[in-house]
Amino acid sequence: MDAFDHRKLEVYRSAVRFAEVAEGVAGRLPRAHAGLADQLRRAAASIVLNIAEGAAETRPREKARLYRLARRSTAECSAILDLVNAVARASTVPSSARSLLFRLSLVLDRLIERHDHPTPPA
């Protein structure tokens, strides 16, 4: 039995999968683009970490805030992938990375909505 709620969430496991993909992209970037690689790694980690913190939070509005931070990091990762393609001229971004980010953002949007406007107990 796992004591941590975040490990039970599919969105968390998807975020970890994205972090693995992001690490692969970052690892293939030329040294000249080490800053982009570092930023991608940190933004991908931020998604995972904020989802974990949100899952552990008991107050709905704070939970929503943490999920919003994770959602913002998905947008940051998307922008970094754009830069990788444009500036680094790298073809190292698999199409699965974008679709995984898109799905993560959709699930996070639903989690934010659910916890920003919790339904009162019956």
pLDDT in tens, the chain (122 residues): 467 889 888 999 999 999 999 999 999 999 999 999 999 999 999 999 999 999 999 999 999 999 999 999 999 999 999 999 888 776 668 888 999 999 999 999 999 999 988 666 66
SS3 93: coil
pLDDT of residue 1: 46
CATH number of the domain at 94, please. Answer: 1.20.1440.60
User: What pLDDT is attached to residue 118?
Assistant: 64
Q: Tokens standing for 53?
A: 């913190």
**What pLDDT, on the 0 to 100 scale, is given for residue 24?**
93
Q: How many domains does the chain have?
A: 1
29: domain range? 5-116
**Alpha-carbon gap, residue 105 to 87, rounded angstroms:** 25
**Structural contact between residues 115 and 121, judged by C-beta atoms closer than 8 angstroms:** no
The amino acid at 80: I
68 lies in a domain? Answer: yes
Q: Is residue 121 part of a domain?
A: no
**20 occurs within a structural domain:** yes
Look at residue 122 and tell me if it is in a domain: no
Instruction: Tell me the pTM.
Output: 0.91
Identity (one letter) of the amino acid at 74? Answer: T
